[in-house]
Structure formats: C-alpha cells, structure tokens
Amino acid sequence: MVVYNFKKIRTVPTSQDFIDIVLSRTQRKTPTVVHPGYNIGRIRAFYMRKVKYTQESFSEKLGWILEDFPKLDDIHPFYADLCNVLYDR
C-alpha cells in the first residue's frame, strides 16, 4: 500500500512573491556593478549572465513545485475524487 504524505508539499508562493524571491537571489548571487568605460561586449555578457541565472532560478523553483506535487493520475482513486470535488478538476 502506498502512503501519501501531502504535508510535505511546499506552499506555492504568489506570483509577486515568486518574482521577488528569484530576483533578490539573482541580485545576491551575480555581480551588480557595471563601470563606465566597459566595452559593449563586456556589458552584454554582464547582463546575459544575470538573465541566464534568473532563468535557471525560475526553472529550479518551478521544478521543485512540480516534483513535490503528486500526479493526480497516480494517486489513490479516493484522493483523485476528493481533488475533483474540491477543485473542479
């Protein structure tokens, strides 16, 4: 018999909180200063690094949410019916 631990599912943050979390993490983990006199290639690389890090952070956070949530087709029929009733699946 499979035991379902629904309490371990992480709370999904609101969209604004999600954006704030990812952007603050990006700000802390990547360089933050572009000095005058940098050539355009270096400035472009600076911002591309920030964009790529932000994309990886969004992907990581969304992946965690999807991994934690059980697949409705794989859970016991009782829980599937309960989700259908409660959330109009």
Q: 89 pLDDT band (50/70/90 cuts)? A: low
pTM of this prediction? 0.73
Closest CA to 68 of 20, 14, 5: 5
Structure tokens at 88: 């109009």
The torsion angles phi and psi of 19, rounded to 5 degrees, stand at -65, -45
Do 4 and 70 contact (CB within 8 A), yes or no?
Answer: yes
Give the pLDDT band of residue 2 (cuts 50, 70, 90).
Answer: low
Residue 21 — very low, low, confident or very high, per pLDDT cuts 50/70/90? very high
The two three-digit tokens of residue 42, written as one number: 């270096």
13-40 in b/e form (b: 16+ CB < 10 A) is eeeeeeeeebeeebeeeeeeeeeeeeee
